[in-house]
């Protein structure tokens, strides 16, 4: 019997590419995002290409009630989730004194609260079945503070710490937790965060969302806990542990500033 994967933020970027991979591997899908037309187009594409069942849930996951609504809707439909992919998230660029609190609150609600709530809701059923996988999408930003993206970096640090902790708690239950930490990736993230002119991304050759998604899928299946995509990203994530904090803060600031 085919397994079912739930993917948030499934309408673009890494979420969309993960949906394509899971469909290719014959999983049924529940796709969650705000864009109704995009989701239905993707559902049609994947159903025609792979013959899988695709459910669409049009939700703004940053709204606090959304996680419970998603869980209860699937319960009513009798759909059990074997794999949960908490991919939805976004960033913002700029000095904390100048950025908009409304956007940062939405970011915290999406990157932290929704991810935690969905995990809380679905993991109990997985443990009861003694089977399940959770993929939480963090970032290489998880490993250090991020001047000019202070709230975003902090939210991703939470995702890494939370995921590692529950991965340990769930050891022996048949449920695994993988936290994906990609670096800058070709997706809509940079535009949404207004950081196209940041030294982090401008003029840089970045991996594609497809490359990152293929890596994430393999890491999830193998039960890897912390999955850092790319050798340079792995080296940087490790080097932060041995570098004085003041130096790390200064380096991240210098790497993040706009090019003009």
pLDDT in tens, 167-225: 999 999 999 999 999 999 886 655 555 555 655 655 567 899 999 999 999 999 999 99
Higher pLDDT: 202 or 236? It is: 236
- pLDDT tens-digit map of 121-151: 999 999 999 999 999 999 999 999 999 999 9
- pTM summary value: 0.91
Task: Confirm if 61 and 9 have CB atoms less than 8 A apart.
Answer: yes
Is 152 assigned a catalytic role? yes
Looking at 27, 71, 152, 215, which residue is catalytic? 152
For the chain, give every domain's residue range. Answer: 4-256
From 1.20.120.160, 3.30.460.20, 3.30.70.20, 3.40.50.720, which CATH number describes the 4-256 domain? Answer: 3.40.50.720
Write out the two tokens for 210: 């497809």
- pLDDT tens-digit map of 44-88: 999 999 999 999 999 999 999 999 999 999 999 999 999 999 999
Lookup result for tokens 């936290």: 179
Higher pLDDT: 162 or 201? It is: 162
> DSSP secondary structure string, 151-219?
HHHHHHHHHHHHHHHHHHHTTTTTEEEEEEE--S-BSSHHHHTT-TTBTTTTT----BHHHHHHHHHHH
């Amino acid at each position: 019997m085919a397994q079912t994967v739930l993917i948030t933020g499934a309408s673009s970027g890494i979420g969309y590419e993960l949906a394509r991979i899971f469909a290719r591997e014959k999983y049924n899908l529940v796709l969650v995002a705000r864009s109704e037309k995009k989701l239905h187009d993707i559902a049609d594409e994947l159903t025609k290409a792979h013959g899988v069942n695709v459910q669409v849930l049009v939700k703004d996951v940053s709204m606090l009630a959304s996680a419970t609504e998603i869980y209860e809707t699937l319960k009513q439909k009798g759909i059990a989730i074997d794999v949960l992919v908490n991919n939805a998230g976004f960033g913002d660029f700029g000095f904390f004194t100048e950025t908009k609190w409304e956007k940062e609150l939405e970011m915290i609600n999406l990157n932290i609260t929704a991810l935690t709530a969905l995990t809380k809701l679905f993991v109990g059923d997985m443990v009861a079945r003694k089977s399940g996988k959770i993929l939480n999408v963090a970032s290489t930003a998880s490993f250090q503070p991020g001047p000019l993206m202070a709230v975003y970096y902090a939210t991703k640090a939470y995702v890494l710490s939370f995921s590692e902790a529950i991965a340990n708690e769930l050891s022996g239950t048949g449920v695994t937790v993988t936290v994906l930490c990609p670096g800058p990736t070709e997706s809509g993230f940079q535009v949404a965060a207004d950081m196209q002119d940041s030294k982090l991304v401008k003029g840089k050759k970045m991996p594609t969302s497809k490359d990152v998604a293929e890596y994430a899928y393999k890491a999830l299946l193998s039960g890897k806990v912390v999955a850092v995509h790319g050798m340079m990203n792995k080296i940087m994530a490790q080097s932060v542990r041995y570098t004085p904090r003041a130096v790390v803060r200064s380096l991240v600031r210098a790497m993040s500033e706009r090019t003009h």
